[in-house]
Amino acid sequence: MLFGVMKTKLWIIQLASLQLWVRLSASQLSPPPPPFPTLNLKSRSTDSAVLVCRAPGGHKGLQFALYRERVKVNSIDVPHGAEEVRFTVRPSDASQRELYCCLYKTMDRYSGFSPYLEINWQRDLLPTPTLILDKQSDVWHLLCRGSPAYPGAGFSLYLQGHDLPVESYQAKLTEHRAIFSVPVQDTPVALYQCEYRVLLGRQWSQSERSLPLSMSQGNSSAPTADSFGVDWPLVLGSLSAVVLFLCSLALLIVMLHRKMKAAADAKKKREEAQFWTQVHGKDHIVDLTLPRQSFTSQDWTNGHTDSAQTSHLWNPLSTFTTPVIPSY
């Protein structure tokens, strides 16, 4: 009986060893799983976002799936295989912060999940950049200007409708613009756009693409009028500053004019006061000394005969009421 028990245990050990050998052989013969994909934010607006799930190292997937946390939200089949696909997502009503990941499938195997990508729907987009044609040292360049509030951003130049950038540039910590060389284009007319992104906290924030800039082949020095991006806030701010300066200057001129007029009136009043003070201060005394005359009684008796003689000395314009009697 003891021999039978030992025989049974030996058989179990041999069976377990055989199963382990089969598993190890199968794991060595089966191909390894595809590498993990990456999930990046391509573009974003206030109510939607475009996510790109990419298979690394030249691998191609026949099916790509997108997950919100652990829930599958979308899948795209690619019969001929593709290195990447794009998913458009919108915010859910449950949360303003959402986590997304993706995976892909080859012929018979699934890859692992990509790292989570967090989207904060409450965060505002960066200000839209402007793309213009600029000439420096007799050489034309494409100038992409972002917001001064976000220096040190990463800039990218795109052909309109394309996902891969034509050129990328990392601005310095004190700069908020990027200068791109004029691309060599194969079409007579091409439209270019630019965008920039900065790291805010632990998450990258991205701007929308600029308005398209039209470029003609072999005529890059003559862009259309609509191709120039106008910084309207800067223009309006400059006009407001000019208007404010002119209003301040006009107000200053009016105040100076009133002050000068008041000073002239005060000076005139002082001069008039001094004049009348001098006039009233003078002594207006008129010497009206009359010679003394003596008359005899005979003269008085003959006074009626002299009335004709004295009447001609009467002056009606004189201020004296007593007629002047001439002396003989």
Question: Given phi > 0 = left and psi -120 to 50 = alpha, else beta, which region is 69?
Answer: left
Whether residue 72 is contained in a domain is answered as yes
Statement to judge: residues 137 and 228 lie in one domain? yes
Average pLDDT, the chain: 77
CB of 63 within 8 A of CB of 104? yes
Domain that holds residue 190: 130-233
Residue 227 carries which DSSP code?
G
Segment 94-136, tens digit of pLDDT: 567 889 999 999 888 899 899 999 887 766 678 899 999 988 8
Asked whether residue 45 carries a pLDDT value surpassing 90, the answer given is no
pTM: 0.40
Statement to judge: residues 135 and 229 lie in one domain? yes
Segment 191-248, tens digit of pLDDT: 999 999 998 877 778 888 899 999 887 654 444 444 444 555 667 777 888 888 899 8
Confidence of residue 59 (pLDDT cuts 50, 70, 90): confident
Nearest to 325 by CA among 310, 306, 307: 310
- Whole-angstrom CA distances from 253 to 242, 247, 249, 258, 260 are 17, 10, 6, 9, 10
For 246, the 3-state DSSP assignment is helix
Statement to judge: residues 219 and 194 lie in one domain? yes
* Domain total in the chain: 2
CB of 138 within 8 A of CB of 237? no
* pLDDT recorded at residue 3: 47
